[in-house]
Amino acid sequence: MYIPGLNRFNDLAAMRVFMQANSFAVVVSNHDGRLTATHIPLTLSQHGDDLRLHGHFARANRQWKTLAAQEVLVIFSGPHAYVSPSHYDEYESVPTWNYVVVHAYGQMDIIMQEEQPERLEALLVELIEANEPGYLAQWESLDGRFRDGMKQGIVGFEIPVTRIEGKAKLSQNKTHMEQARIAATLMAGSRSEVVEVGYLMRQNLGVG
């Protein structure tokens, strides 16, 4: 990913929080000589410096069949917003787009129901607890044959993250006044992702 120095997002703890908040990610890999992407909800776990991503494919999605021997890219996209040149001091200016994104890389470990049922169950419980803890009791009360049938239809995975890149493009190349002006305009917007970019810009300016 192209990341100018001003836009580099280096805080690993903040990147983890960002990934958790934007956990519906895109898994990109080379499948049979072609780039292939699947949109998947993920969970994260971290023990010391060991960061891992967990999720599952539909078994019918053939992308998982060629993942074991390659590095995969996982894209976590955050809020984004158009920025008008009308906010800049210089008349000779052009529009841009502000956004935050994190790319994580690693080699996938495949988890199959028939080989590691307890590990796949733990992965699903983690996903439920991250998104709807109240559903866990219902999931655990479902008929065992039904649950096993559902798990036969998926393929779980774990990705130990070997490298990670973050980019926060928040008009850092502009003056403090220009950034404050852009942030105020975005925060007055009607779309939640635009408002959030404005809030992130204010945080970056130290005025939270």
Q: What are the boundaries of each domain within the chain?
A: 5-171
Q: Say which residues have a Cβ less than 8 Å from residue 41's Cβ, sequence separation at least 6.
A: 23, 24, 25, 55, 127, 131
Give the per-residue pLDDT at 181: 94
Q: Say which residues have a Cβ less than 8 Å from residue 200's Cβ, sequence separation at least 6.
A: 79, 100, 168, 170
Give the per-residue pLDDT at 8: 93
Q: Say which residues have a Cβ less than 8 Å from residue 34's Cβ, sequence separation at least 6.
A: none
The residue among 81, 29, 34, 18 whose CA lies nearest residue 57 is 29
In the CATH scheme, what architecture does the domain 5-171 have?
Roll (2.30)
**Rounded (10°) CA dihedral 198, 199, 205, 208:** 160
Question: Cβ–Cβ contacts within 10 Å for residue 17, how many?
Answer: 12
Give the per-residue pLDDT at 190: 87
Amino acid at the residue 185: T
pTM here is 0.92
Are 207 and 192 in contact by the 8 Å Cβ rule? The answer is: no
User: What is the pLDDT tens value at each position of the chain, 208 positions in all?
Assistant: 999 999 998 888 999 999 999 999 999 999 888 899 999 999 999 988 889 999 999 999 999 998 878 999 999 999 999 999 999 988 888 999 999 999 999 999 999 999 899 999 999 999 999 999 999 999 999 998 999 999 999 999 999 999 999 999 999 999 999 999 999 999 998 899 999 999 999 988 887 5
Alpha helices in the chain (DSSP H): 12-21, 117-131, 136-141, 144-152, 176-187, 192-204
187's tokens: 């925060």
174's tokens: 């502009």
